[in-house]
Amino acid sequence: MTLDNSMLDGTIASIDGAVRRLGLEDDMRQVLVEPWREIQVGLPVRMDDGNIRVFKGYRSQHNAARGPYKGGIRYHPHADLEHTRALGMLMTWKTALADVPFGGAKGGVSVDPRELSTGELNRLTRRYTLSMHHVLGVNRDIPAPDLGTSAQTMAWIMDAYGSIHGHTPGIVTGKPVELGGSVGRAEAPGRGVAVVACRAIVDYGSSPEHSRVAIQGYGAVGSAAARTMFDRGANVIAVSDMHGAIVNTSGLDIDQLERIVAGGGNISDLADADQLTNAELLELECDVLIPAAIEDVITTSNASNIRAKIIVEGANRPVTSEADQVLSDANILVIPDILANAGGVVASYFEWAQNIQVFNWELDRVNRELDQMMNRAYEVTKERKDRNGGSTRDAAFDVAVGRVARVIKIRGYVG
Ligand code: GLU
C-alpha cells in the first residue's frame, strides 16, 4: 500500500492544474471534470456449468465536445465505476492532444477474463453490447480493446450490435482485419510509444542506438514498443510479464523472444538472460523505462529508487501524481500517457475513417500517418513546455484541456 492518491484524484488534479495555468473559469472546470454520461449495468451470463453469474459493467462517457466518445473496454477484476471514469477522462485528453476528432470514454467489466471460457466471454460481451447499444454508435461512442479485451472481443461487439442496427463495422475499432479492422492497429500503441521515446531520447542529447531500454509488460503495447525500439537501433535490455522479468545488459534478442512468445512460450524461456522481478526491472539502471502494463506501478514507495533518465508511460497512469513530483525533483523526464500511448486511438481513428469510407489503407500509409500524428503531438507538447516551463505532463494537459475548453465555448454547449 502507498499513500498516493487514487487514479481519479490524480487525473482530476492534472485537469485542475491545467485549468489554473490556462486561467479558465470555475464554470468551465465543472464541465471539463464531470462525465457527461455514465452507465452501470448488471450483466447476467449463463456459465458453462449451467449457473447464472451477474457481472457488473460500466461505460463512462466523459466528454464529447470534439467528436463521438471514444475509448476501450477493460475486462479486469479491479474495474469499477470510479476507475472507469478516470480512464475515460484520460481518453478525452488523449484524443484532444493527438488531435483526432473524438471525445473520451471508457468501459469496463469487473471480471478476470482468464477465468472464463471463450463461450462465456462471448456471451458476456454480447450481453454488455445489448445493455449499451443505445448509447453506442458510429457517431456516438466507439469502443476499442483495452486490458483483458482483444480484437476477438470487438468482433463479438460488432456482431451483436449489427444484429440490431445492421452491419456496422465502424461501431468498434481494433477489430480483426478480416472484419474491417485496420492493418497496423494492433501494433500502433507500442509503435507510438517508441516514436515518442525516440524523440525524447534525441531531445535529451542522445540517440536510440546509444540507449538502453527496459519495458515493464510484454503485452500488446510492450511487445510492439520493444520491436520498434529494437528496429530503431535501441538496446532493449529488459522486459517482463506477470510472472517476472528478464534482463541482459548487452541487449535481449528480440527476434528470438518474439518467436518464443508466438509459439506459446514464456519470456523466461529466452536463453542468455537473467531472471528478476517486476519490481527490480523498474529500478534497473537504464536510459528509458517504459511501464507498459497497468496503472500505479511507480509510486512514492519506489520513485526514489528509479534510475532511468526518461520514463515513457506506455500504460495509462503508471506513475502516480505524488511519484511524478519525486521523479521531477530527481530530474527524471516523464513522457505522460496521454501523449505516449496515443498511438492506439490514432490508429483507431484511421480504422474508423476507413470503415466510413469503405476503403482500406495499406500498412505503409497507416504507419506513416501514425508517425506523423505522434510527432505532431510531441512537438505541440514540447513547444508548450519550452514556453511555459513545468513538466511534460503539465504541458500535455494544457494543450489538451485548452483544446476541449475552446470547443465547448464555440459550440455554445453551456447556453
Ligand atoms: N484502449 C486504448 C487506450 O487506452 C485505445 C482506445 C481506442 O482506440 O479507442 O488508448
Which atom of ligand 1 lies at the shortest distance from residue 173's CA?
8
pLDDT of residue 126: 98
Give pLDDT, residue 182. 98
Q: Using the mean position of ligand 1's atoms as its centre, give its distance from the Cα of residue 50 in Å.
A: 34
Fold of the domain built from segment(s) 37-168: Rossmann fold (3.40.50)
The answer on pLDDT for 2 being more than 70 is: no
The atom number, within ligand 1, closest to the CA of 147 reads 1
The model's pLDDT over 192-201, given as tens digits with 9 standing for 90+, comes to: 999 999 999 9
CA distance 279 to 305: 10
- Mean pLDDT across the chain: 97
Domain 188-335 matching CATH 3.40.50.720: the answer reads: yes
Q: pTM of the full predicted structure?
A: 0.97
pLDDT digits (tens, 9 = 90+) for 96-138: 999 999 999 999 999 999 999 999 999 999 999 999 999 999 9
Domain boundaries, the chain: 37-168, 188-335
Within this chain, domains 37-168 and 188-335 share the same CATH topology: yes
User: What's the burial of 264, exposed, middle or buried (CB within 10 Å: 0-12/13-18/19+)?
Assistant: exposed
**Which residues are near ligand 1 (CB < 6 Å)?**
70-72, 94, 144, 146, 173, 316, 341, 344-345, 348
CA 340-346-352 angle, to 5 degrees, is 160
Query: Backbone phi, then psi, for 193, in 5-degree steps?
Result: -55, -45
pLDDT score of 4: 85
Q: What pLDDT is stored for residue 275 in this prediction?
A: 97
pLDDT of residue 3: 67
pLDDT in tens, 212-262: 999 999 999 999 999 999 999 999 999 999 999 999 999 999 999 999 999
**pLDDT tens, position by position, 16-68:** 999 999 999 999 999 999 999 999 999 999 999 999 999 999 999 999 999 99
